[in-house]
């Protein structure tokens, strides 16, 4: 059940977070605009699964809003980005993936995935590494393309057809073995990652990065794999994704997460409330570790209206359930 195409739709990833510091911060969080908005809306859809899914709730919710149906770990974000960028081919079952340069943190017992957004990859570094990596990917029948984001490459090849991969938002901060594709179909990918690790170890780009005190780029993470549905067209209206909670949530920065929520409440949430008060059709989707819940304006009887007027739900009660 997707949101009406003409609705103003705000989607908030990491609105609820089960990590210790963020969960503790939730108890003292006061979000008056969100509470006022929720009192005017009704929950119209809920998608709840456990937190072992490769595709987190906010990605499933966004795919649903865009009209993309896909199996877990196979939401074709790369193919969608390629289509929007005019790269091809994206039709006829062509499969794509996102290769994101990253830093694997080697510990005593585990190798952890660091957040690629935090390692300051510059455009020149990304271009130099893309040129060096091209022959290795081409040996496996994979074409590589730069994207608008440094350190993020779009890759096209048959290996990505039906290959389930974990979102970076699931894998950051966890052992890579927990989220890497372990099927036979993922074996060439693991070999390619090993080859890239050896290549990156010798790259001058990393010498320069070490000199300026930033982590070396020592591998890549693959996600967003698959192909677009037959006949898919990019919707004219897409949800507004308010992504300010992502970084503090992944770092379990409770104070930062709460501060970002206050800014959202005073900004995008307040704007959606104003639109709702003006009689516009609005949709709000709140996403956490396990659940995505969508709220929309829906006619309610007098009893429900009176209950909403005198018994306003707390934001914490909604966010804790995510």
Task: Write down all domains in the chain, each with its CATH number in brackets.
Answer: 8-67+238-320 (no CATH), 77-226 (3.30.70)
Name the token pair of 74. 């196979």
Global pTM value? 0.91
Q: Write the pLDDT tens digit of every residue in 239-265.
A: 999 999 999 999 999 999 999 999 999
Q: Indicate the average pLDDT of the chain.
A: 89
Q: How far apart are CA 250 and CA 235, in angstroms?
A: 30
Instruction: Report the distance separating Cα 252 and Cα 14, nearest Å.
Output: 11
Report pLDDT digits (tens) over 104-117. 888 777 889 989 88
pLDDT exceeds 70 at position 310: no
CB 299 within 8 A of CB 45: no
Residue that has been written with the tokens 């990156």 in this structure: 200
Q: Residue 78 to residues 18, 227, 241: CA-CA distances in angstroms?
A: 28, 8, 17
């Amino acid at each position: 059940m997707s949101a009406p195409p003409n609705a103003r739709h705000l989607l908030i990833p990491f609105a609820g977070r089960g990590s210790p510091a963020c969960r503790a911060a939730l108890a003292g969080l006061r979000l008056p605009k969100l509470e006022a908005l929720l009192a005017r809306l009704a929950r119209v859809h809920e998608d709840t699964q456990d937190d072992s899914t490769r595709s987190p709730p906010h990605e499933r919710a966004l795919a649903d809003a865009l009209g993309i149906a896909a199996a877990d770990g196979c939401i074709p974000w790369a193919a969608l980005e390629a289509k929007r960028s005019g790269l091809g081919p994206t039709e006829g079952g062509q499969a794509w993936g996102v290769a994101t340069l990253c830093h694997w943190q080697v510990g005593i017992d585990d190798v952890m995935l660091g957040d690629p957004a935090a390692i300051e990859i510059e455009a020149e570094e990304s271009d130099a590494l893309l040129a060096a990596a091209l022959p290795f990917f081409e040996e496996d029948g994979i074409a590589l393309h730069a994207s608008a984001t440094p350190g993020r490459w779009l890759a096209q090849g048959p290996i990505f057809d039906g290959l389930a991969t974990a979102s970076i938002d699931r894998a950051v901060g966890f052992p890579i073995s927990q989220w890497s594709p372990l099927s036979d179909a993922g074996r060439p990918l693991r070999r390619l990652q090993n080859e890239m690790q050896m290549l990156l170890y010798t790259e001058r780009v990393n010498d320069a990065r070490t000199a300026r005190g930033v982590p070396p780029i020592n591998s890549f993470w693959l996600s967003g794999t698959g192909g677009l549905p037959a006949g898919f067209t990019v919707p004219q209206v897409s949800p507004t994704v308010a992504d300010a909670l992502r970084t503090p949530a992944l770092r379990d920065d409770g104070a930062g997460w709460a501060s970002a929520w206050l800014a959202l409440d005073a900004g995008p949430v307040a704007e959606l409330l104003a639109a709702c008060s003006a009689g516009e059709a609005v949709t709000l989707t709140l996403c956490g570790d396990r659940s995505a819940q969508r709220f929309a304006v829906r006619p309610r009887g007098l009893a429900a209206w009176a209950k909403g007027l005198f018994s306003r739900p707390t934001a914490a009660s909604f966010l804790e359930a995510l």
